[in-house]
Amino acid sequence: MTIFQYMIGNTDWSVPNFHNIKLVQAKSDSFSAPYLVPYDFDFSGIVDASYAYPNQDLFSIEHVTDRYYRGLPSTEEEVDLVLDNFRKNKERILSLVKDFEPLKQSVRVRMVNYIEDFYNTISNQFRVNYHFVRGMGQ
């Protein structure tokens, strides 16, 4: 969930405060770990709403479109496992945006470019380590 939030440029969430996330657990399996489900993306960089402003708790963020990783630092192996899932599904993710006709073509192009920037970041191991392994945020 944290890398998804980074991909869409969303800093308007908090796990400890349950801000813009819900814990969801299957009724049929009360012993399984719950899933974190994010919602409310209007302050995310991918949406770039005209009324949105950067998270004021993150001083290094100047624009809503600036990305900042709010997850905990992880090992390279843990991060690579998650990023492999994003890499495998890149075309599916991009197609969701490209084919979403209720949005204007210009908005879809901007959103695709925003996601492509995320993929450029995760294609560089130094940047992966900087953002996700060492937990340097931006």
Residue 56: predicted pLDDT: 85
* Position 138 in a domain: no
Residue 135: predicted pLDDT: 67
Q: Where would I find the beta strands (DSSP E) of the chain?
A: 21-24, 35-38
How many CB atoms are located within 10 Å of the residue 11 CB?
24
* Position 81 in a domain: yes
Tell me the pTM.
0.92
* Position 124 in a domain: yes
* Position 38 in a domain: yes
Into how many domains does the chain fold? 1
* Position 86 in a domain: yes
Buried b (16+ CB within 10 A) or exposed e, 31-69: eeeeebebeebebbbbbbeeebebbeeeeebeebbebbb
Task: Give me the average pLDDT of each 10-residue run along the chain (138 residues).
Answer: 96 92 87 91 97 87 94 92 98 98 98 99 95 75
Burial group, residue 113, by CB count within 10 angstroms (0-12, 13-18, 19+): exposed
Domain enclosing residue 75, as ranges: 2-133
Cα–Cα distance measured from residue 98 to residue 57, given in angstroms and rounded to the nearest whole number:
33
